[in-house]
Amino acid sequence: MAGALLLAAPGVAAAEQGPDVSSWQHTNGTLINWFQVRGAGQQFAMVKATEGLNYVNPYFVQDSLLMRAAGVARGTYHYADPSLPAVAQAAFYSAVVLGQNGPLDLPPVIDFENAAGQSPAQLIGWLHQYLDTVQALTGRQPIIYTYPNFWRNAMANTTQFANYPLWIASYNGQNNPGPLPGGWTNWTFWQYTDSGRLPGVSGPVDLNSYSGAQGPFAQYARAGITGYGS
């Protein structure tokens, strides 16, 4: 699918769509044109905010401001390093994003795909601590981003987190992400390709769909705009 202009996952064209971005989508310092992204039918985007205990995406503030100006709902995510303290990472992320409760704000997201040499029991305990802290600091239930093989192997396919919204990565070319791990019965967001193309974004970009599992998208994103979303 590399090089194609992908605006919707196969079979879910009516669903809300959006990319997820980090510093990699800012080749040579190029800004993302969020007005073009919105004009291409993308209603939301997930933006990397932080990683570990000391990395802040240098384009996070720019993207956050320009997304809001363009009317693109914003999700933000922390790339987890389970070898470092969970509570400290949760506090670091929450301080950088300064809340997730404004207009066009989706709930906080944790990108959980790196075991960092930890056992399943250690990872499970770490994730509980992180999620509890972020929810206390932001007031919203976090979304878990992961992929099936990681969850089934590194997390021993635990079902302890099945009550959290799931953002699943699965590049299978099908109309749905396939069997879900961890006792989840539905997905909230699906990252269906890592090689999409969008107007306003230089180079390949991950693309995602919203399932409607958390209700109307406008409500989930706190849009407050008549006619926004479904």
Q: Express each pLDDT in 151-189 by its tens digit.
A: 999 999 999 999 999 999 999 999 999 999 999 999 999
User: Of the listed 81, 113, 132, 194, which one is catalytic?
Assistant: 113
CA angle 66, 226, 137 (to 5 degrees): 55
Select which of 63, 105, 111, 206 is catalytic. 111
C-alpha 51/C-alpha 56 separation (Å) is 7
Nearest residue to 124 (alpha-carbon basis) of 93, 89, 91, 160: 160
Span 183-212, pLDDT tens digits = 999 999 999 999 999 999 999 999 999 999
DSSP state of 27: G
Q: Which of 158, 173, 166, 217 is nearest to 190 (CA)?
A: 166
Short-list 202, 162, 219, 146, CA closest to 19: 202
Identified catalytic residue from 20, 51, 105, 206:
20
pTM, entire model: 0.92
Residues 143, 165: contact at Cβ < 8 Å? yes
CA 106 to chain centre: 9
> Hey, which residues does 79 pair with through a beta bridge?
51, 111
Residue 113: active-site member: yes
